[in-house]
Amino acid sequence: MPFIAEQAVTVLLGLFFLLTLYINLNFIYYVFLTFFGFGKAKRDYELVKDQTRFLILVAAHNEEKVIGSTIENLRNIRYSPDLYDIYVVNDNSTDRTGVICEEKGMKYINTGEKLFPREGVGKPAGLQYALRFLGFEKLTDQYDCLMILDADNHVDPDILSELNSQYIGKGKPEAIQTYLDSKNSSTSLSLGYAMSYYITNRFFQLAKYRLGLPNAIGGTGFIVRLDYLMKHGGFRFHSLTEDLELEMEIVKDNGRVLWNHFVRVYDEKPDNFKISIKQRIRWSQGHWYVAFTNLKPMLKKLFTEKGKLKIVDQLVYLFGMARAVQLSIVIIGILGAAGYGLVTQNYDLLTAGGERIIYLILGGSILSLILFAYQFLICMYYAIKVDTNQEFKLFRMSISVFYYAYTFVYAQVMGLLKWRQQHTWVKTEHNKTAINHKRGGADPL
């Protein structure tokens, strides 16, 4: 092989090795986190009497199929009635969402009245309108925290009591995210969603909380301190993932995002592949936008301020590739490195440096595969056994997780290509009115 070709191959192998090294470091970091996800979840705060004032906004756009059951569920909340208010944000609905709210006696805000100019797109724009309608800056005189829910959500009855206790006991943090559970998991796709959330809840969220690292805001089932939100202009966000954008703002302000493992919000996971892909492309578009626009300020903060571990953690989270992408690269590394030796029976066509890189790629890829197997098998089994009532079925659950993960690859790529496009909100359809995890079970509509 000509000298120039040898050098070119060596450079390409070196670049692939750097990618393998990054994936290894990513796997090692997340495996380290999982060690803090084992064991019984214990409260690190006392349960106290009701005292925090909550405003609950339920985002709804054409949700006539589910809004009635959500309203009935929210009426089961056990908390001092004079300390919280619930409003459905009926955001430009053209169906019976508003009519159902009236029939159920639920207070709602109709953005279709257009009393205020629209600020942004989609869900955050509707929430911002609601804040304007209710008084905006004056809201801090009436409420301490804002809770965001989606129109399909069901919640545990003690959700406000638990959040009140944690909010008071932990010194009034900027935000708290609750456990995100699933209403449904009867199809392979919805089961894949659910498994992903169960693993994330324990081995990412709970683990980070125990380590004092910032938790992720999941778009629903979280509270944010109203004075903090108003100080930053409310829900005036620029991306399609207002939750991640809010999280980054809090972290950059040295604020805290905590996790609550003891009360849950149950949301509907898509059963329809087309709807699911649209949802995940929106997530990916917003995620990459927040990642790229926050890279410079986060790096500046990393080199100029304290709390460097928290910044590194957030950068890893922002620029982490999907597990399926990482696993694919690992497999390519193993097959490529091993296959080359088997086919050629020698490394004469490589430079000495190239030969060493081949061995490094093979070793690093095997290590990553072992770490992935640990996360996939042990962590998935433990999360399901400890945190759910579902029976662990290795084959079905494994297939579902791989199905969910590998279809996410396309969404991530499309989101990356379209990351600058943050002006079109794609609604996720909802129709589940009850929690039902039985395979093939009918949902009582």
pTM of the model: 0.93
Structure tokens of 425?
């909100």
Q: Are 46 and 162 in contact (CB under 8 A)?
A: no
Q: Tell me what pLDDT residue 443 has.
A: 36
CA distance 186 to 188: 7
Q: Are 323 and 372 in contact (CB under 8 A)?
A: yes
Q: Which residue has the tokens 């095997």?
A: 366
Q: Which residue has the tokens 């042990």?
A: 378
Q: Which residue has the tokens 């809201």?
A: 139
Q: Tell me what pLDDT residue 335 has.
A: 78
List the chain pLDDT tens, one digit each, 445 residues.
455 656 776 777 788 888 888 888 888 999 999 999 999 999 999 999 999 999 999 999 999 999 999 999 999 999 999 999 999 999 999 999 999 999 999 999 999 999 999 999 999 999 999 999 999 989 999 999 999 999 999 999 999 999 999 999 999 999 999 999 999 999 999 999 999 999 999 999 999 999 999 999 999 999 999 999 999 999 999 899 999 999 999 999 999 999 999 999 999 999 999 999 999 999 999 999 999 999 999 999 998 887 788 999 999 999 887 777 787 888 887 777 777 666 555 555 566 677 778 778 888 888 888 988 898 889 999 999 999 999 999 999 999 999 998 898 899 999 999 999 998 888 888 988 888 886 543 333 2
What are the distances in angstroms from CA 197 to CA 12, 68, 327, 347?
36, 26, 19, 45
Residues whose CB falls within 8 Å of the CB of residue 58, separated by 6 or more in sequence, listed in order: 67, 70, 74, 86, 87, 88, 89, 149, 150, 151, 153
CA distance 93 to 427: 12
CA distance 201 to 33: 12
Q: Is 104 left (phi over 0), alpha (psi -120 to 50) or beta?
A: alpha
Look at the chain and count its residues.
445
CA distance 229 to 198: 29
Closest CA to 365 of 332, 339, 337, 330: 330
Q: Tell me what pLDDT residue 348 has.
A: 56
- Please count the other Cβ atoms lying within 10 Å of the Cβ belonging to residue 144: 20
What's the count of helices (H) and strands (E) in the chain, helices before strands? 16, 8
> What secondary structure does DSSP assign to 24-88, as a single string?
HHHHHHHHHHHTTT-S----SS----S---EEEEEEESS-TTTHHHHHHHHTT--S-GGGEEEEE
Q: Tell me what pLDDT residue 434 has.
A: 87
CA distance 403 to 162: 35
Q: Which residues pair with 179 in a beta bridge?
A: 264
Q: Tell me what pLDDT residue 5 has.
A: 59
